[in-house]
Structure 1
């Protein structure tokens, strides 16, 4: 087997290879070849599927069809709800990826695929958010095994649904930041949580940081941020035992410690989680009644018209691995 790191380097062009990463001159030739809408048969590819935040019902239709047809499901351990595995993977061999490195995972999936077995790689949340999926995919492709991605629902979206709010709200938050705190895999210089909070109109969603909430809030206080800034923690978003803890930068650390949570929670900083002070959107205001001729030269109308009815400033749209079974405390 080729060294997985060599496969990654080949993709990124780090060692003089014909990589398709940032240093490459051409796009990855696989782009558009196997999209989520045409994932192909399982005997052709190994799909990397987002299992969603926890609730089995939040697995996509495509994801469910693929896992039900699988012979081998390599999954993200306890970050994937066991009820989902029992409901949709009853006939498959289940292998947890927890504690396994690339040198073990890649041959496992490759050999099963080459033996004619239907193989699925099941990540929690969405593979694109702290999922560490790409290095596996590049290593498999380097071994001649095609892969594809099937998106999932990330925990930030499940958390906003639990809170019955939006991550973006007109007059409150125009932006959303998905981030993680400094620690073993993130240097202090790369921790930008304080910068996001300082912007004021950003909903900051912190993944992989349940164990470090108190330390993160202490840093924000030391940087001079308002101690009354709202912070909401959603534990196991969409799971049967989900819990919501509300507080502020000054109080949330102690509240979460008292609850005993050290993993599997998403931290949301900002007013959007409390859905307070938001303004009526232009979509359902003046622009909606702009006249029979449909003409309106206002900047707001231009923005709404160019982005579509579902993506104005109020309805903006959009992954330890995951929070609550999503990408919160893993590197899967």
Structure 2
């Protein structure tokens, strides 16, 4: 059996209880070494085989899993954040299907949730934005043309932009073309929930300068939108004049 486990955004106590228990039971752990907090590996039992996938190809990862299955061992494939977001798990699962190897997926806390916690922010403020767009700039990995940043920016929704810290000048250009103002609030969150976490506030117009000034080149999330501002409407859910299934409206 193979368990794809989300390790969470960084802090070791933000992995799920289920994920933590599976790490303790695993005979083999294959972890995304470039991003996963290596302290998670302290949970591994004695004799557990540990592999860093940062230096491995997809085929090499599958070969390790195949060998473990032949030996009747349980494998944890440990991904950063939640494995469903930029985790490249589909290609692994498809090959496991071909090999008739059973697997499941354990969700994790994504770094965009960790970034919101670091910012003490709510992405979905009433009358500001009720939509969160999770995306990235095109780089060595292409992005479909219909998802080009300026097209997404036209919605003026909250944006959480992954894997783009090294592309902040073209990112700024695409955000402005899409309709965000130069003074639209923005933030860079470096290594959300890690001990070395850092939060930098600014605007769409100042994003490149913020990163350059603070030497932020990778492992950071870009957050954009008026959810970082001060203007919003109070939620209807807790408004005394608003009735719903569990509460009558006050007169």
In 2 relative to 1, CA 245–291 (structure 1 residues): closer, same or farther, beyond 3 Å?
A: closer
Q: Using a 3 Å threshold, how does the CA distance of structure 1 residues 221 and 257 change in structure 2: closer, same or farther?
A: same
Contact 2:16–2:108 (Cα < 8 Å) also in 1: yes
**1:79 counterpart (35, 39, 42):** 35
Provide Cα deviations, 1:166-191, integer angstroms capped at 9, x if missing partner.
11111211100110111221247244
Residue in 2 that maps onto 1:280: 234
Unaligned runs of 5+ in 1: 1-44, 297-332
How far apart, in 1, do the equivalents of 2:19 and 2:122 lie?
25
**Pair 1:216 & 2:171 matched:** yes
- In structure 2, the residue matched to 1:120 is 76
Q: With structure 2 as the length reference, what TM-score do the two structures score?
A: 0.91
Pick the aligned partner of 1:159 from 106, 115, 123. 115
Equivalences, count? 249
Which of structures 1 and 2 has the larger relative contact order (alpha carbons within 8 angstroms, sep 6+)? 1
Greater mean alpha carbon deviation, residues 185-194 or residues 275-284: 185-194
2:138 corresponds to: 182
| Pairwise CA distance, 1:220 | 2.8
Aligned positions of 1:1-332 closer than 5 A: 45-86=1-42, 88-89=43-44, 91=46, 92-187=48-143, 189-200=145-156, 202-222=157-177, 225-272=180-227, 274-286=228-240, 294=248
**For each residue in 1:256-289, what CA deviation from the matched residue of structure 2 results, as whole angstroms up to 9, or x when unmatched?**
02211221111110021x2521211111003556
Conserved in 2, the CA contact under 8 Å of 1:127 and 1:133? yes
Unaligned 5+ segments in structure 2 are none
Q: Which has the higher strand share?
A: 2
C-alpha contact (below 8 Å) 2:153/2:179 kept by paired residues: no
Give the TM-score of the pair, scaled to structure 1: 0.70
